[in-house]
Amino acid sequence: MSSGSFNEEPLQRELPEVMALFQHLIDESIEGGGGAGGEMLIPFAFEETLCRDIGTGLAPPSLHLWSHPGGVALGLRDSKLPFAAEAMAKLERSGLRTAVRHSGGAAVPLDAGIVNVSLILPKSRGKLDFHDDFRLLVSLITEAVAVSHPKAAAQIVAGEVQGSYCPGEFDLAIGGRKFCGIAQRRQSNAYFVHAFIVVAGSGQERGELIRSFYEDAAGEEQSLSYPRVSPETMAGLQELGGPDTVGMFATGFRQALARRGVELISSANTGYTLEYTDPRVVEAAQMLQERYSLQ
């Protein structure tokens, strides 16, 4: 598996000239922020609904920036571990929400210091290579960091970080410590590519949380396939010489899109609106809960 600085491989990929901005960030200092709410599956249901509307032409291509006050989102494979339900219940008792998400990847923590970024786009004609979309998001994240911290951005390397949680080919790391992972989800006429970016707080503490979950979920069975997390492989951008607040990173990401000629406009000005409280979003969250619940 190859790795290297994406500053050495600039990606010139066409983006929509206009994109709607949906922002549900907990940091109240961020313009247009607004609370993300505590329900774990609402952000995923929101994106599923928005993606469907983009596919049918009801909504424009969109950027969704969001965070969650505290929880752990599992991948489908995680939910198959023999004691997954008990491990999730333990997290719930400690005050962390849990849910099984339907997009790719493995267990990840969610909290106010982690920014989730989703580009939600209609499918174009011709052959689609999801790697191109991953590379696009990698380059935008690197450019977002460079807005405020160019030295840190120059050190970003892409490639799977062994021992990290939710490991993948497009992990982003500085000095061998991962701060970002990327996944994707496709519908028939639209898709989204999603990244979590650990910005503020301790990456190692989050790694210890996920390692503990796997130890509880797997029990004594060591032959099972699941990520063996080494907490020291994780870090936040704040610890790596990069942006130290959610607001700083979010601003950098919006500026990175603007520098590529993308005009971000409030969803309220597009003629299309969708809220976390929309009945379709609530219903979609309930369906996801029923489909993937371990209870």
| SS3 sequence of 105-153 | CCCEEEECCEEEEEEEEECCCCCCCHHHHHHHHHHHHHHHHHHHCHHHH
The encoded tokens of residue 39 equal: 């329900």
| Nearest partner of 71 among 44, 48, 94, judged by Cα | 94
How far, CA to CA in Å, does 209 sit from each of 12, 104, 107?
38, 20, 10
Residues 134, 33: Cα–Cα separation, whole Å: 26
Check residue 31 and give its pLDDT: 42
pTM of the complete model: 0.90
Check residue 102 and give its pLDDT: 77
- Sorted by where each starts, the structural domains of the chain and their CATH numbers stand as 18-153+182-200+244-292 (3.30.930.10)
Choosing from 166, 182, 246, 288, which is the catalytic residue?
166
Check residue 124 and give its pLDDT: 79
What number of residues does the chain have?
295
Return the axis-axis angle of helices 246-259 and 130-148, rounded to nearest 10°.
120
Q: Is 178 helix (H, G, I), strand (E, B) or coil?
A: strand
Number of neighbouring beta carbons within 10 Å of residue 235: 25
The DSSP-derived string for 190-236 is EEEEEEEEE-SS-HHHHHHHHHHHHHHHHTT-TTS------GGGB--
Q: Is 44 helix (H, G, I), strand (E, B) or coil?
A: helix
Q: Is 286 helix (H, G, I), strand (E, B) or coil?
A: helix
CB 163 within 8 A of CB 96: no
pLDDT string in tens for the chain (295-residue length):
334 433 344 444 579 999 999 999 986 444 444 444 448 899 999 999 999 999 999 999 999 999 999 999 999 899 999 999 999 999 999 999 999 987 668 999 999 999 999 999 998 766 566 788 999 999 999 999 999 999 999 999 999 999 999 999 999 999 999 999 998 888 889 999 999 999 999 999 999 999 999 999 999 887 899 999 999 999 999 999 999 999 999 999 999 999 999 999 998 899 999 999 999 999 999 998 888 776 5
CB 292 within 8 A of CB 79: yes
Active site residue 166: yes
Residues 181, 126: Cα–Cα separation, whole Å: 27
**Phi, then psi, of 220 in degrees rounded to 5:** -90, 0
Check the CA dihedral 251-252-254-258 and report its sign. positive
Q: How many CA atoms lie within 13 A of 173 on its CB side?
A: 23
Cα-Cα-Cα-Cα dihedral of 117, 118, 119, 122, to 10°?
Answer: 180
249: amino acid identity, one letter: F
